[in-house]
Amino acid sequence: AQTVTQSQPEMSVQEAETVTLSCTYDTSESDYYLFWYKQPPSRQMILVIRQEAYKQQNATENRFSVNFQKAAKSFSLKISDSQLGDAAMYFCAYRSGDSGGGADGLTFGKGTHLIIQP
Amino acid sequence: EPEVTQTPSHQVTQMGQEVILRCVPISNHLYFYWYRQILGQKVEFLVSFYNNEISEKSEIFDDQFSVERPDGSNFTLKIRSTKLEDSAMYFCASSPTRGGEKLFFGSGTQLSVL
């Protein structure tokens, strides 16, 4: 079974600075996707960024980028120019590819609470 | 962009009562999911549903839980006899494929069991 580990329960960063959230995962599959979800106080799950395992290039979405290290099974999220609106819980998640035989749906990590200090 | 819709947004019930949480997945999606999140904890998988039957379920999804797609559009989660520990946010999600790129989440139903 796949597992996702987020070792930082809480991170704090000054507004406009850069912060990196860590995520590691364990799988025997070669076809899979990785995601970062943001959960603000409203508790809605908002997709921040996704990475296909077969792509070597790291995904980027505006101020959000990932450092995907497939051999190390590491998938960190970098937030540049942090803004007050970035304050939220961030969950790393894993999903098998369509051809995979692994678990259905998403497997989540425990989350990192990101605090933005003005 | 199409959305997954969940109703109600909040549900309060007495312990021992039955509740039904409702979801309308995106219309051309084939795979449906329920997740729950106890306050302050991670999001946990409950069950997946495909072709009118459960495809996977977690340990949490015991005999008190059931899912149904009664009319081709709604997807429901029923808890037969609620317990205090069932208090959580319940998220419905849908996807066009079993695995792969993206799961679409609803905005959740906060269930409070008193």
Summarised one tens digit per residue, pLDDT across range B32-58 is 999 999 988 889 999 999 989 998 898
Distance from CA of A105 to the nearest CA of B (A): 7
Tokens in use for B10? 């909040």
Q: If you count them, how many residues does chain B have?
A: 114
Task: Provide the pairing of β-strand B10-13 with B109-113.
Answer: parallel
Please name which of A43, A35, A41, A90 lies closest in space to residue A61, comparing C-alpha atoms.
A35
- Over range B7-33, report the average pLDDT: 94
Identity of residue B86: D
Q: How confident is the model at residue B101 (pLDDT cuts 50, 70, 90)?
A: low
What is the four-CA torsion angle of B49, B55, B58, B62, rounded to 10 degrees? 80
Residue B31: closest C-alpha in chain A: A105
Mean residue pLDDT of chain A comes to 92
List the single best residue of B1, B4, B42, B75 to mutate versus A (max A Cβ within 10 A): B42
Tokens in use for A44? 């809605």
Q: Round the CA-based radius of gyration of chain A to a whole number and report it.
A: 14
Look at A107 and A66; give whichever has higher pLDDT: A66
Q: Confirm if A17 and B68 have CB atoms less than 8 A apart.
A: no
pLDDT at B65 over 90: yes
| pLDDT at res. A98 | 66
- Over range B13-42, report the average pLDDT: 93
3-state SS string for chain A: CCEEECCCCEEEEECCCCEEECCEEECCCCCEEEEEEEECCCCCCEEEEEEECCCCCCCEECCEEEEEECCCCEEEEEECCCCHHHCEEEEEEEEECCCCCCCCCEEECCCEEEEEEC
B44 CB neighbours in chain A (<8 A) are 108
Using the 8-state DSSP alphabet, how is residue B3 labeled?
-
| pLDDT at res. A100 | 58
Using beta carbons and an 8 Å cutoff, which residues of B are at the interface with A? 31, 33, 35, 37, 41-45, 48, 55-56, 89, 91, 93, 97-103, 105, 107-108, 110
- Over range A9-13, report the average pLDDT: 97
Contact B99 A110 (CB under 8 A): no
Q: How confident is the model at residue A64 (pLDDT cuts 50, 70, 90)?
A: very high
